[in-house]
């Protein structure tokens, strides 16, 4: 259980769409991970990044990456059969215990950790609706797989209307809560979206679990880099309940750059952009 | 379990080490609430600094290794944190670093107004080129830094943090004491060391080298504290590899008045401080020790 | 798995480190039979020396700690051992120590006639006052010792053994190379360190301080070998914390041509050498490496 | 299983005779030790010495010490209730497997490890005779206990005839082998006696296991200090079969001082004297 990278061979690489790839490999330590947990993924001499598990099974583990920066462009150029370094799984993961009905809201590459969550909800017999959004059709992830698994319970939105309903996921979330209040809302996506999701849930009196993101170093709760107020995203999170987030002055507002400098979420997002 | 450490009252002898968790005021207050007798902020530098790229912090079989590289928002950007620290339930130690006497002076000037309980002078970081160890391996330069900081610090206590890489740590401590240090902190991480991944055929840390902490370094830390205790009469904040109550007691017996912990939070959680303080108390009961202070330096008798 | 180390042929890259088992010819031959590619005798001094009182060798959670204190019958009393070593199936490295250049010279004169494969110059023992580290922490004195020994050694190869306590091990290695060293051995035990028994309220080693070896020191050893490799072009015998095949491969990747093991014999038995050599071979097969030499220094690419 | 001393409290100290004391304490790690194994016994600031287990049980462990030098005089002055440091057990111990009859020969303070061996032999249903010798009556150890356990199978010798037969243990051993050949001879005592025992066993064609002694440092096979030819007394021994010893040029001849200097057994014994 030593937290240093293990090199694993990329068994299979799937092109999800223009900008997203899913990488499959064997990594026993993650075979019983919870949806929402993440790995630190090391590309030697490039960088190491926290990446959510987008596939959890005994047979194989998957991660889905948006190709856009130095690290992610690098991983996109690695061919099948080559190795990457992984350590983890880290974080707490979503909790589905005792829940009978849920709405899941996924935004952009936030859909990655939602995939194993959907599997888990179905396995647990939870009545599940999924609202999945992206800027445009080509940004959608796992569309056909989700359609297959959820049928009419899948609701798609795009900012430009190139697929599904034109507009934001939160609009559909509002409609769905109004139609039938779920016991829990699960969500992952841009923090600005999560903030809106929290607001709607609070108003409707529905519990929620939201997945957050901050720049990380250790990933296991030592360095403090990922702090949001007194919370460590890597260890206390990345999944937080709405109750906890409602008390956080930094949620939706403030994040830390690599130096530890506190900046507005907007400035952080410009630096970060995922 | 109350102690006094160079005039500062602490509810117990455990102290959060610098660079672990202490990036913001709220985490420091959380650690204080979880039992730490005092808390140390992550070392603050003269200007904004990114630190090294990832991987920066890794576990290996016998501890951690890190090359975070002293990231800092810079002392000018930390007003917000200092203000929020006013109601911290435990004394706050502010750790500072610089690449020159002038930088140390600048940072001291910038933070002294917030009146930390102690200013820790980090002259011992093994994973940066310009800051750190170069000051801590030489008795004269170490003393110069202490003297410069001390002048500006006024009545605020100053405590240089030493490196086990120094060839004569006792001499360096003595020279710091003469230069006005009110306490000595020892030790910073050991090394640097290196991890290699045979499959990747590469060093794992992006910086290649990093400071070693945790259980692996305890014997070195004990020896350093033992030697410093024989050399100075100011109190010692001993750290390096402490993870349980017995470790802490051993460190005090070697000569530490208070004990720091960093890596232990990985093995035992943020409440490591309460756990270790409880274990120390349990040990004291079993051994009929009334006052923890009795144990400081006893192995020297 | 055959290699050549500064002209010496070895059946595999594993070497028995000095001070472990190698007190007599028969044990050295046994270790050679159990798989070691080369064997090193316990360091030999200028005259009979008792070493420290017990406890001298202890295990702790992450390795060993020892303050044996360089006991030696003295080079004059070892003719019997040298004679019996003539039919040792692996090359024999003779380790020597002294408290002055003159003592190093005397010991070299005394043993050079037995034509060991390599003379290892121990300038790095951390648990004696007069011998050891004082020579190994300074580039000039290190070079002086090497030069003096080398003059007497003639065609016999000489290999100084360095300490991780040196503040610039690369510089010391470079300076030894210039002084005529044919290889570098790194590292000797780390520290010194100290164990304290809380119940006894005492240091456990009779000498209080002792050198730390085994798994705990591997990251430090890898860093030292890495830095030395960048500084010199003579081969390196890398050691410190190697206990299995992957450790050995990592050490070679850092820059070692051959790998020493001492503490591993505690964890894995006297046949640690065969076990580790087999594990290395297994690793090579799995990774399609034909010649172990390909791996030397690869992390530097 | 870390080989550093554990402080244990002396529960009970028994005065065996003028010069020998037995110390009892709890030390779980040794509760399943084999007869013939030893502990390294640490007196802080004094010294650390290898001492055989003279009592092995779940309840308590015992060691028996002859008071004569710096270390042993020190332990003799420690009162009940105080602590000593112990590590181990070390060494291989006597093997009683598959044996039906045995003669045990104990000389002087070599009787210490013989006590648990007698218990083991009895428990294993081995037909056991014990020949126990000392310089004089006051040097005998565990006499009444052995009498009780072995009855007529106990044979006592003293050099001066102050108890039992006057003469050496080896004389009685010879008689007993002649009377009825045992499957195994076990022995512990001065090396000169052991040498004689080996000679008699070889001549009679009886197997034997003998317990040896050398100056030790680590006690667990690392430092090489206790070497006898290529054997490590601490780890390969301290119990060796007659076959192995017959091949050793140093057995009965040569031992090492603290410096590692090889000297005659006589010179070593003068330095050592136990
Ligand atoms: C991730 C990490 C970051 C650290 N950063 C600093 C730092 O900024 N300033 C400093 O003086 N020491 C720093 N240290 C050293 C610790 O304060 C402490 O001296 C060292 O880790 C030994 O204690 P431990 O074994 O209890 O961790 C850091 C240690 C770790 C593990
Ligand atoms: C019990 C013991 C005795 C040692 N004696 C010597 C010695 O006499 N000369 C020497 O150069 N190194 C000596 N060493 C150091 C080893 O040769 C080696 O450099 C060190 O233990 C690191 O390797 P390891 O981790 O594989 O043990 C000794 C080490 C141990 C554990
Ligand atoms: S990334 Fe280090 S504490 Fe979260
Ligand atoms: S005492 Fe160290 S090997 Fe036997």
- pLDDT tens profile D169-209: 999 999 999 999 999 999 999 999 999 999 999 999 999 99
Tell me which residue of C164, C291, C153 sits closest to C239, measured CA to CA.
C164
Cβ(A226)–Cβ(A272) below 8 Å: no
Instruction: Say which of C125, C137, C185, C224 is annotated catalytic.
Output: C125
Does the distance separating the beta carbons of A40 and B206 come in below 8 Å?
Answer: no
| A92 vs B: CB within 8 A | no
Express each pLDDT in A105-151 by its tens digit. Answer: 999 999 999 999 999 999 999 999 999 999 999 889 999 999 999 99
At residue C128, the pLDDT reads 73
E strand or H helix at D54: strand D47-56
d(CA B195, CA B235): 35
Place of tokens 């410096």: D259
Tokens of B209: 């080298």
Torsion, CA C8, CA C9, CA C15, CA C16, rounded to 10? -80
Q: What is the DSSP string of D85-137?
A: EEEEEES-----TT--EEEEEEEGGGHHHHHHHHHHHHHTT-EEEEEEEESSG
At residue A126, the pLDDT reads 97
At residue A271, the pLDDT reads 81
Which residues of chain B carry a pLDDT beneath 50?
A: none
CA–CA min distance C287, chain D (Å): 33
d(CA C22, CA D222): 9
Q: How far is CA C86 from the centre of its chain?
A: 21
Mean pLDDT of all residues belonging to chain B? 96
The CA B157 to ligand 1 mean position distance, Å, reads 20
Does the pLDDT of residue A16 top 90, yes or no?
Answer: yes
3-state SS, one letter per residue, for C121-157: EECCCCCCCCCCHHHHCCHHHHHHHHHHHHHHHCCCE
At residue C135, the pLDDT reads 85
Residue A238: cis peptide before it, omega within 30 degrees of 0: yes
Does the distance separating the beta carbons of D227 and C27 come in below 8 Å?
Answer: yes
d(CA A99, CA A85): 35
Mean pLDDT of C19-46: 97
At residue D1, the pLDDT reads 65
Is the Cβ atom of B20 under 6 angstroms away from ligand 1? yes
Express each pLDDT in B218-274 by its tens digit. Answer: 999 999 999 999 999 999 999 999 999 999 999 999 999 999 999 999 999 999 999
Give the atom of ligand 3 at the shortest distance from the alpha carbon of A232. 4
Tell me which residue of A106, A110, A165, A164 sits closest to A130, measured CA to CA.
A106
Tokens of C68: 């044996």
Give, using CA atoms, the residue closest to atom 19 of ligand 1: B188
Q: Is C268 exposed, middle or buried (0-12, 13-18, 19+ CB in 10 A)?
A: middle
Share above pLDDT 70 across residues of chain C, in percent, rounded to a whole number:
99
Tokens of A189: 């996506």
Torsion, CA C220, CA C225, CA C226, CA C228, rounded to 10? 120
At residue D273, the pLDDT reads 59
Give the atom of ligand 2 at the shortest distance from the alpha carbon of C43. 8
Q: Using CA coordinates, name the residue in chain A closest to B71.
A: A259
How many Cα atoms are found within 13 Å in the side-chain-facing hemisphere of B51? 32
Residue C192: cis peptide before it, omega within 30 degrees of 0: yes
User: What ranges do the domains of chain D cover?
Assistant: 6-90, 94-211, 214-274
At residue C278, the pLDDT reads 98
Cβ(C161)–Cβ(C262) below 8 Å: no
Tokens of A44: 């030697």
Ligand closest to D217 (CA) is 4
d(CA B278, CA C296): 50
Q: Of the residues A219, A229, A231, A260, which should be mutated to test ligand 3's pocket, given the most ligand atoms within 8 Å of the CB?
A: A219
Share above pLDDT 70 across residues of chain A, in percent, rounded to a whole number:
99
| D264 contact partners, CB below 8 Å, separation of at least 6 | D253, D254
d(CA C267, CA C271): 10
At residue D2, the pLDDT reads 83
E strand or H helix at C97: none
At residue C132, the pLDDT reads 66
Q: How far is CA C168 from the centre of its chain?
A: 19
| A26 vs B: CB within 8 A | no
Give, using CA atoms, the residue closest to atom 8 of ligand 2: C19
Decide yes or no: CATH 2.40.30.10 for domain D6-90: yes
Express each pLDDT in A31-41 by its tens digit. Answer: 999 999 999 99
Express each pLDDT in C200-235 by its tens digit. Answer: 999 999 999 999 999 999 999 999 999 999 999 999
Decide yes or no: CATH 3.40.50.620 for domain A94-211: no
Q: How confident is the model at residue A1 (pLDDT cuts 50, 70, 90)?
A: low
| B1 vs A: CB within 8 A | no
Express each pLDDT in C171-200 by its tens digit. Answer: 999 999 999 999 999 999 999 999 999 999
| D246 vs C: CB within 8 A | no
3-state SS, one letter per residue, for D181-224: CCCEEEEECCHHHHHHHHHHHHHHCCEEEEECCCCCCCCCCCCC
Would you tell me the crossing angle of helices C272-286 and C245-254 to the nearest 10 degrees? 70
Please give the C-alpha separations between residue D91 and each of B113, D36, D47, D211, D234, in angstroms, as whole numbers.
65, 8, 20, 10, 5
User: Do β-strands A207-211 and D83-90 pair in parallel, antiparallel, or remain unpaired?
Assistant: unpaired
Of the candidates C193, C198, C246, the beta carbon closest to that of B220 is on C193
Best mutation target, C64, C197, C199, C223, to test chain B (most B CBs within 10 A):
C223
Specify the 3-state DSSP secondary structure of D175: helix
Q: How confident is the model at residue C125 (pLDDT cuts 50, 70, 90)?
A: confident
Of the candidates B165, B219, B301, the beta carbon closest to that of C60 is on B219
Does the distance separating the beta carbons of B54 and A4 come in below 8 Å?
Answer: no
d(CA A257, CA B233): 42
CATH number for region B3-295: 3.20.20.70
d(CA A264, CA C132): 57
Phi, psi of A5 (to 5 degrees): -60, 145
Ligand closest to C58 (CA) is 2
User: What ranges do the domains of chain B cover?
Assistant: 3-295
Give the atom of ligand 1 at the shortest distance from the alpha carbon of B18. 17
| A40 vs B: CB within 8 A | yes
Global pTM reads 0.96
d(CA A26, CA A11): 8
Q: Of the residues C44, C122, C189, which should be mutated to test ligand 2's pocket, given the most ligand atoms within 8 Å of the CB?
A: C189
Which residues of chain D carry a pLDDT beneath 50?
A: 274
Tokens of C31: 């270790």
d(CA D262, CA C77): 8
Q: How far is CA D224 from the centre of its chain?
A: 21
Give me the residues paired with residue C258 across strands. C237
Q: Do domains A6-90 and A94-211 have the same CATH topology?
A: no
Phi, psi of B76 (to 5 degrees): -70, -20
Q: What is the ipTM of this complex?
A: 0.95
User: Buried b vs exposed e over C120-159: b needs ≥16 C-beta within 10 Å?
Assistant: bbbbbbbbbeebbbbbbbbbebbbbbbbbbbebbeebbbb
With beta carbons under 8 A apart, name residues in chain D contacting C57.
217-218, 222-223
Phi, psi of D158 (to 5 degrees): -135, 145
Strand ranges of the sheet holding B190-194, from the earlier edge strand across to the other edge: B57-60, B63-66, B209-213, B190-194
At residue B112, the pLDDT reads 96
| B58 vs A: CB within 8 A | yes
């Amino acid at each position: 259980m030593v937290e240093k990278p293990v090199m694993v061979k990329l068994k299979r690489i799937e092109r999800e769409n223009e900008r997203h790839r899913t990488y499959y490999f064997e990594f026993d330590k993650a075979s019983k991970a919870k949806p929402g947990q993440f790995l630190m993924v090391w590309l030697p001499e490039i960088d190491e990044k926290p990446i959510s598990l987008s596939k959890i099974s005994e047979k194989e583990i998957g991660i889905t990456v948006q190709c856009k920066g130095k690290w992610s462009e690098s991983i996109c150029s690695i061919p099948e059969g080559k190795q990457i370094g992984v350590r983890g799984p880290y974080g707490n993961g979503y909790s589905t215990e005792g829940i009978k009905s849920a709405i899941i809201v996924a935004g952009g590459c936030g859909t990655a950790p939602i995939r194993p969550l959907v599997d888990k909800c179905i396995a647990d017999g939870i009545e599940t609706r999924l609202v999945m959004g992206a800027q445009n059709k080509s940004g959608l992830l796992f569309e056909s797989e989700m359609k297959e698994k959820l049928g009419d319970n899948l609701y798609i939105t795009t900012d430009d209307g190139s697929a599904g309903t034109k507009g934001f996921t939160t609009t559909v979330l509002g409609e769905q809560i109004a139609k039938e209040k779920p016991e829990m809302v699960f969500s992952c996506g841009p923090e600005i979206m999560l903030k809106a999701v929290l607001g709607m849930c609070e108003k409707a009196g529905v519990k929620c679990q939201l997945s957050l993101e901050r720049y990380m170093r250790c990933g296991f709760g030592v360095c403090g880099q990922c702090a949001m107020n007194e919370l460590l995203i890597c260890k206390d999170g990345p999944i937080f309940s709405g109750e906890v987030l409602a008390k956080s002055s930094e949620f939706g507002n403030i994040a830390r750059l690599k130096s530890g400098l506190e900046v507005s979420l907007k400035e952080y997002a410009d630096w970060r952009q995922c | 379990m109350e102690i006094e450490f160079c005039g500062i009252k602490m509810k117990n002898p455990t102290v959060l080490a610098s660079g672990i968790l202490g990036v913001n005021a709220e985490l420091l207050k959380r650690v204080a609430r979880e039992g730490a007798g005092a808390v140390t902020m992550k070392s603050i530098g003269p200007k904004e600094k990114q630190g090294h790229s990832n991987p920066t912090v890794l576990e290996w079989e016998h501890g951690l290794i890190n090359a975070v590289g002293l990231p800092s928002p810079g002392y000018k950007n930390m007003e917000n944190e200092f203000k929020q620290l006013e109601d911290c339930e435990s004394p706050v130690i502010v750790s500072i670093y610089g690449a020159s006497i002038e930088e140390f002076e600048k940072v001291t000037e910038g933070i002294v107004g917030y009146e930390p309980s102690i200013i820790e002078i980090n002259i011992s970081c093994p994973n940066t080129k310009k800051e750190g160890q170069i000051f801590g391996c030489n008795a004269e330069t170490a003393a110069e830094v202490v003297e410069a900081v001390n002048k500006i610090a006024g009545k605020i206590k100053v405590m240089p943090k030493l490196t086990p890489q120094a060839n004569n740590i006792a001499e360096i401590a003595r020279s710091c004491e003469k230069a006005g240090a009110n306490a000595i902190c020892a030790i910073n991480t050991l090394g640097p060391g290196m991890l290699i991944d045979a499959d990747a055929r590469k060093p794992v840390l992006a910086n290649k080298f990093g400071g070693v902490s945790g259980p692996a370094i305890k014997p070195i830390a004990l020896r350093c504290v033992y030697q410093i205790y024989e050399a100075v009469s100011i109190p010692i904040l001993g750290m390096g590899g402490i993870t349980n109550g017995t470790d802490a007691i051993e460190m005090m017996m070697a000569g530490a008045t208070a004990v720091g912990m960093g890596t232990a939070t990985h093995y035992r959680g943020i409440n490591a401080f309460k756990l270790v303080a409880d274990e120390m108390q349990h040990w004291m009961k079993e051994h009929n020790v009334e006052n923890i202070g009795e144990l400081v330096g006893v192995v020297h008798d």
